[in-house]
Amino acid sequence: MKLAFSTLGVPGLPVADVLRLATTHGYHGVELRAHPEEPVHPGITPAQRADVVAAFKEAGVSVVGVAGYARLADESADDVVLGEVRGLVELARDLGAPFVRVFPGGGESADADVVAARRLGVAAEFAADAGVRILMETHDSHRTGADAARVLGAVGHLHAGALWDLMHTWLGGEDVADTFAALGPYLGYVQVKDVASADDTTPLALGDGVLPVAECVELLGRHGWDGWLCWEYEKRWYDAAAPLPELLGGGRELLARLVSDSA
């Protein structure tokens, strides 16, 4: 398994500084939060995209994925949602990133599964042309692996997969073994994190909270899964959380030890 962290933990940080953190602390990759308040998002120019590619290549660090905010089952019109997804796919293609993250975003809609699957099926076709895989995160209306698998099973496309957010499946009451069983055929990569409790999701250093990080990594290793483990530290939403840079070294050491123990 390869180790990465998300720029959600260092909001607004220039690419050069993100890469300095990655190389200093031994991370193999970075998940780029693709929001207009970040330095890398679908609105940047071709020249800026080329600069990002060159910087990552020079640092020897991979772009794991482009973490977008498109919501597949949103009430917006198809062309609006699919246009947003297409912009993310094109950005990922230009950066050489294998994955794009989207949310289900179905709210309380009774037909969220149908809408999400229909749009994801269309998006998977142009993602395939771009050599990119679209991953629907276990989140909001489809928090568990079982929820996500309903959509992904209906799509049945190699370029449509799942991003396993460990916190959300845990909050949904799903055991890690059940999540893996549901998402295994679709799994792109895994986001790990730690929090104090279900009622207090302020991000903590890995290993300092209640999430089953060790159990998750052990299960992945036991099944021979060899993808990306990405630490998503949600500093952007929690001003009181400790700064991520001072935690990155300890987090990498913990994940590396867990990966080694799971082999």
* Cα–Cα distance list, 50 to 93, 166, 255 (Å): 11, 33, 31
Structural domain spans, the chain = 2-262
Class of domain 2-262: alpha beta
Q: 146: which 2 tokens?
A: 């079982």
What is the 3-state composition of the chain as percent helix, strand, coil, each rounded to the nearest 5?
A: 45, 20, 35
Q: How many CB atoms lie within 10 A of CB 39?
A: 17
pTM of the model: 0.97
C-alpha triplet 125, 105, 37: angle, nearest 5°? 90
Selection from 127, 224, 139, 140 nearest residue 184 by Cα: 224
Average pLDDT, 10 consecutive residues per value, the chain (263 residues): 97 98 98 97 98 98 98 96 98 98 93 97 98 98 97 97 98 98 97 97 97 98 97 95 97 97 89
What pLDDT is recorded for position 215? 98
